[in-house]
Amino acid sequence: MKKIIALILALIMALGLVACGAKAPADTDAPADADSSVVSETPTIDAIKAKGELVVGTSADYPPYEFHTEIDGVDTIVGFDIAISQYFADALGVELKVVDMPFDSLLIGLNEGEFDLVMAGMTANDERRKVADFTDIIFANDQIVMIRKEDADKFTKIEDLVGHKVGAQTGSDPYKLAAESYGAENVVGLVKNQDLVMELKAGKIDAVQTTSMTAIPYVTANDDLMIQDVGFPMNEAGFSGAIPKDQADFLAFLNEQLAEMKAQNLIEQFVTEAQALANAE
């Protein structure tokens, strides 16, 4: 009997040793479980990539920023805000989805999670900054003059144009500014910017007072014309994209893409293309 009991105890001990031998030793160099202990440095970007689309809110009633047009028989939202948004989406490797709603509902929709980004010619004022974060300024519609390239060295500051004929669109803010800056007697008012450009090219006026947004398509289409900054105060407000607050990774990404677009003059290209499309409507 004692022999039997001894054999049973020996068998139990042997099985215990086999079980212990089967257990792998702890690997102190093994990486921690990524799902449980590592926090992504780009949570917003990762979420956008995971769903496969960048959702952008806009109010498509403001050409050339964003507006509806028919492309191949399909109503489509276009504009340079949309072109910039497409650049963002391409950089993320996702599709672009545009949501159209009234302007005054955009920040509400943004904070309710309806979209990732607002692109709607929106200025980042103090009130809006309370509920959203904003990208760097995308475009500031500054007061400038259009002149002939041959006069680049002749008209470099506001005082240089005093006593010269300066054209401006009748009833516009540029017209009022021109009258204040050069003397009302020197300002030639016309209804259409196209006519002002023709007068400038023909040498009948020496400059056109306008905004950079208006001037870009004309100087792009006319090699003999240029935009000249003669020293009017910079429009520091401009417009920016809006995102929900506290998404530092996404904000940094958007600003990096904007810097790349500006370095390649792509924003001006998008503005020109959108302006031409809007004028064709």
CATH value at residue 206: 3.40.190.10
Same domain, 134 and 167: no
Same domain, 117 and 129: yes
Q: Structure pTM? A: 0.66
Residue 89 structural domain: 43-140+236-279
Does residue 261 sit within a domain?
yes
pLDDT at 246: 96
DSSP SS3 for 208: strand
- The arithmetic mean of pLDDT across residues 150-177, rounded, is 93
Does residue 1 sit within a domain?
no
What would the pLDDT profile of 10-50 be if each residue is shown by its tens digit? 444 444 444 444 434 444 444 444 454 567 899 999 999 99
Q: CB–CB of 175/209 below 8 Å?
A: yes
Does residue 78 sit within a domain?
yes
What would the pLDDT profile of 195-251 be if each residue is shown by its tens digit? 999 999 999 999 999 988 778 878 888 999 999 999 998 776 789 999 999 999 999
- pLDDT value at 258 more than 90: yes
Same domain, 182 and 205: yes
Does residue 12 sit within a domain?
no
Burial (CB < 10 A; 0-12, 13-18, 19+), residue 168, is buried
Distances (CA, A) of 236 to 171, 180, 223, 225, 251: 24, 21, 29, 25, 20
Same domain, 167 and 147: yes
Does residue 13 sit within a domain?
no
- pLDDT value at 2 more than 90: no
What would the pLDDT profile of 59-106 be if each residue is shown by its tens digit? 998 788 899 999 999 999 999 999 999 999 999 999 999 999 988 899
Does residue 8 sit within a domain?
no
275 or 97, which is more confident?
Answer: 97
Same domain, 116 and 69: yes
Same domain, 242 and 135: yes
Does residue 25 sit within a domain?
no
Both ends of the chain: CA-CA distance in Å? 106
Q: Which of 185, 201, 228 is the last residue of a domain?
A: 228
Does residue 79 sit within a domain?
yes
Q: Could you give the number of structural domains in the chain?
A: 2
Q: Which of 185, 211, 228 is the last residue of a domain?
A: 228
Separation between Cα atoms, residue 156 and residue 64, nearest integer Å: 29
Separation between Cα atoms, residue 173 and residue 201, nearest integer Å: 23
Question: Considering the chain, what percentage of its residues have pLDDT values greater than 90?
Answer: 63
Same domain, 48 and 136: yes
Same domain, 69 and 87: yes
pLDDT at 62: 79
Q: Which of 228, 246, 269 is the last residue of a domain?
A: 228
Confidence of residue 270 (pLDDT cuts 50, 70, 90): very high
Same domain, 106 and 128: yes
